Amino acid sequence: MQFSTKAEYGLRAMVALARAYPQQKNITEISEEENISAKYLETLIGKLRKNNLVKSQKGKSGGYTLIKNPKFISAGEIIEIMEGPIISKCDGSNCMKAKICASSLVWNKLAFQIKKTLFAIKLNELI
C-alpha cells in the first residue's frame, strides 16, 4: 500500500500543529518548518478544517490550531481525510468474486490491520 503526498504532508502539518497545541501556527510557519509548499499546505489544511480537525483564526495574527487535544486525534483519521477510506480492493463492493476468492482473505486482513494500527497512533505520540 502506498500513500500519496497528501497523506504524508497532511500528517506532518498536523504534527506541527500538535507541537504548538493549544497555540496556533500560520501556513508560513508550518511551510517553513516542514518544507512543504505553502499553496499545497493551504489545500491540505482546508480539507482538515472542513473535516473538523483544525480551526482557523483570520487576520494579521491569525493561523490554525487543532480543534481537540492531540491525544484524541489519530493518524488514521488524518490519512483517511487526505486519502479516503482505508479499505481492501476485496471488500465486496469492487469484485463480484470477493466472497469466494481465496486471496480476498489476505487483503481484507491486511486492510484491517493497517487501519487498526493507524487509528491506534495518536498525534501526541508523534510529538
| Domain architecture of the chain: domains with CATH | 5-126 (1.10.10.10)
Taking only the tens place, the pLDDT of each residue in 9-68 is 999 999 999 999 999 999 999 999 999 999 999 999 999 999 999 999 988 888 999 999
pLDDT: is 27 or 87 the higher one? 27
Q: How far is CA 40 from each of CA 43, 63, 115, rounded to the nearest angstrom?
A: 5, 16, 26
pLDDT: is 52 or 111 the higher one? 52
By percentage, how much of the chain surpasses pLDDT 70? 89
| 53 close to 81: Cβ distance less than 8 angstroms | yes
Phi-psi sector, 92: left (phi>0), alpha (psi -120 to 50), beta: left
**pTM summary value:** 0.86
Residue 10 makes CB contacts below 8 A (sequence gap 6+) with 44, 47, 48, 78, 79, 81, 82
Nearest Cα residue to 66 out of 56, 54, 49, 58: 54
